[in-house]
Amino acid sequence: MAEPKGAAAETIHGLVTQRLKDRFQVQVKESERSCSLKGDLRRPGEEILAVGDWVEVRPLEADSGLIVRVLPRKNRFARRAAGPKPIEQVIAANLDLAVIVFAAAAPKPRWTMLDRYLVESHAAGIPPLICITKLDLVDRRAIEDELDPYRSAGYPVVFTSAETGEGIEEIRERLAGKISLLAGKSGVGKSSLINALLGSQMIRVAEVSRQTGKGRHTTTECRIQWLPGGGGLVDTPGAREFGLWEIAVEEIAGHFPDMREWLGSCRFGAGCTHSHEPDCGVKIAVREGRIDPRRYRSYLRLIGASEDESELKHCAKNERNRDTVEPAFRCIRCDLTVSADAPGTDHRNHCPTCLWSRHLDMRPGDRAAACGGGMEPIAVAARRGGEWGLIHRCKECGAVRVNRIAGDDNAALLVSLAARPLATPPFPLDRLESSMGGRAADARP
Ligand code: GDP
Ligand code: ZN
């Protein structure tokens, strides 16, 4: 691109490697400069600059500078900042790769989530690399088989173990010379992977709390971490969970490379949703085994369509995966298959036998939560009007949800939950008397 006349002589190009409060670390040639943003580039309430941006810098004293121009981006990873007027918050720009990290086990991978990350990286124009960690915990052949549909769809996959060092060299080679974003939910082994890549320049790895199984974020600032083998990694809590972009439903199919060949090949043309339409080209391809049924099922979920029973029944034999039995689902806790219709509510969200649920929704039925953790029933509460609500807490992320109880819920368990505060008071009952005297707040279990 053309340099602005006059400025070229005194400015140099640099890469934003870190954001501090209102200054930016900019890598200029071999050194870093602490730079501020020229006044006329600032927009109140808006961040125009992100890690990964290329800028033009006017050097000031020894190691500082003024950013006078932001060069056009090739892509960006953004999310909507909360607020009455949703504004886009760019987390990182100009990414060469999105490393999507899933553990082979602990936590058990949810491939629907992987499909979602893949759609999102495709929509953002960032090539994905699937990284399966904790290889030492599973049988290699089995996990490779599970990833087969992705490799046939053309996605690069690496298998690593921070424990044995397997795959670390391979991923190092793939990251060399690139700026990559690290994505994946907490606990899958991202920090351990970075540590393995960094060798001696370790960062802190969080102990996964045994009790909750929930990992803690160890990285708080957004910066590019340079790797010994070349290349840089952007690791930031803001980027760890995808699910940040809103993608129009009719565009989703286009983000499935393994479906693309059949899009528009049916009489419904571009308007086809590939869900309820009879004789849709995509559905025929699923039936003939040309599109993986698991991937097709994810697609249906992402567009919010109910699964076409007849279609998936045709391929039930080829299908190895079982993680989604819909419209019925399988209980994450007691493994029973639960029918979708729940007496008394129109949306079954927990197992009537053990009352456990799964963290899939942000709002009832939307399947928008990235977590997927088991939700433990912790209490019942009376709602307005006297109806009972069941309170669930996610074992992975701690989110709390109130759900309607269903007519066939396990009554004995419900009552025992309701009675729990009385059966196990948080302080010895013989202190009730003194707590009446105003010292209740001192009482601790
Ligand atoms: P992050 O939250 O994604 O950064 O995950 P961490 O790197 O903090 O790892 C979460 C937990 O998984 C820690 O207890 C690690 O010791 C463990 N872990 C990470 N990588 C591996 C691995 O390759 N093999 C095994 N067995 N455990 C791992
Ligand atoms: Zn179609």
Question: Where do we find the tokens 């008071």?
Answer: 425
More confident residue, 173 or 6: 173
**pLDDT for the residue numbered 388:** 80
| 131 Cα–ligand 1 center, Å | 13
pLDDT at 24 over 80: yes
**pLDDT for the residue numbered 70:** 95
Binding site membership of 273 for ligand 1 (Cβ less than 6 Å): no
**pLDDT for the residue numbered 442:** 45
**pLDDT for the residue numbered 220:** 47
pTM for this prediction = 0.68
Phi and psi torsions of 395, nearest 5°: -70, -20
Query: Which residue's CA is minimally distant from atom 24 of ligand 1?
Result: 134
**pLDDT for the residue numbered 327:** 52
**Cα separation of 166 and 126, whole Å?**
26
Region 17-31: what's the mean pLDDT? 89
Binding site membership of 11 for ligand 1 (Cβ less than 6 Å): no
pLDDT, one tens digit per residue, over 58-75 is 999 879 999 999 999 999
Q: How confident is the model at residue 81 (pLDDT cuts 50, 70, 90)?
A: low
pLDDT at 44 over 70: yes
pLDDT, one tens digit per residue, over 267-318 is 788 888 899 888 889 999 998 889 999 999 999 988 888 775 556 665 544 4
pLDDT at 202 over 60: no
Q: How far apart, in Å, do the first and last CA atoms of the chain sit? A: 67
Q: Are 26 and 32 in contact (CB under 8 A)?
A: yes
Alpha-carbon distance values, 81 to 84, 120, 247, 415 (Å) = 10, 17, 16, 42
**Cα separation of 14 and 245, whole Å?**
28
Q: How confident is the model at residue 89 (pLDDT cuts 50, 70, 90)?
A: confident
**Cα separation of 127 and 255, whole Å?**
12
Binding site membership of 323 for ligand 1 (Cβ less than 6 Å): no
pLDDT, one tens digit per residue, over 386-398 is 778 889 898 888 8
**pLDDT for the residue numbered 276:** 86
Peptide bond connecting 59 to the previous residue in cis, omega within 30 degrees of 0 = no
| 373 Cα–ligand 1 center, Å | 17
**pLDDT for the residue numbered 3:** 44
Best-predicted range by mean pLDDT (5-19, 141-155, 371-385)? 141-155
| 163 Cα–ligand 1 center, Å | 9
Which long-range CB contacts under 8 A does 354-359 form with residues at least 24 apart?
354/410, 354/413, 355/390, 355/409, 355/410, 355/413, 355/414, 355/417, 356/331, 356/332, 356/392, 357/332, 357/392, 357/401, 357/403, 358/329, 358/332, 359/394, 359/396, 359/397, 359/399, 359/401
Question: Where do we find the tokens 């399988």?
Answer: 330
pLDDT at 366 over 80: no
Binding site membership of 236 for ligand 1 (Cβ less than 6 Å): no
As beta bridge partners, residue 69 has: 56
The secondary structure element, H or E, covering residue 14 is strand 12-19
| 221 Cα–ligand 1 center, Å | 20
From the alpha carbon of 186, which atom of ligand 1 is closest? Answer: 2
Q: Are 400 and 363 in contact (CB under 8 A)?
A: no
Binding site membership of 92 for ligand 1 (Cβ less than 6 Å): no
More confident residue, 377 or 1: 377
For 240, the token pair is: 């760890």
Binding site membership of 205 for ligand 1 (Cβ less than 6 Å): yes
Q: Are 119 and 247 in contact (CB under 8 A)?
A: yes
**pLDDT for the residue numbered 205:** 44
To test the ligand 1 pocket, which listed residue (131, 170, 186, 192) has its Cβ within 8 A of the most ligand atoms? Answer: 192
Lowest mean pLDDT, pick from 181-195, 303-317, 410-424 = 303-317
pLDDT, one tens digit per residue, over 213-225 is 444 434 446 789 8
Q: Where are the alpha helices (DSSP H) in 35-175?
A: 111-124, 140-152, 168-175
Q: Mean of the per-residue pLDDT values for the chain?
A: 81
**Cα separation of 298 and 230, whole Å?**
35
**Cα separation of 403 and 392, whole Å?**
8
**pLDDT for the residue numbered 345:** 67
pLDDT at 434 over 70: no
pLDDT at 209 over 80: no
pLDDT, one tens digit per residue, over 102-117 is 999 999 999 988 998 9
Q: Above pLDDT 70, what percent of the chain?
A: 76
Region 78-84: what's the mean pLDDT? 68
Lowest mean pLDDT, pick from 200-209, 227-236, 351-360 = 200-209
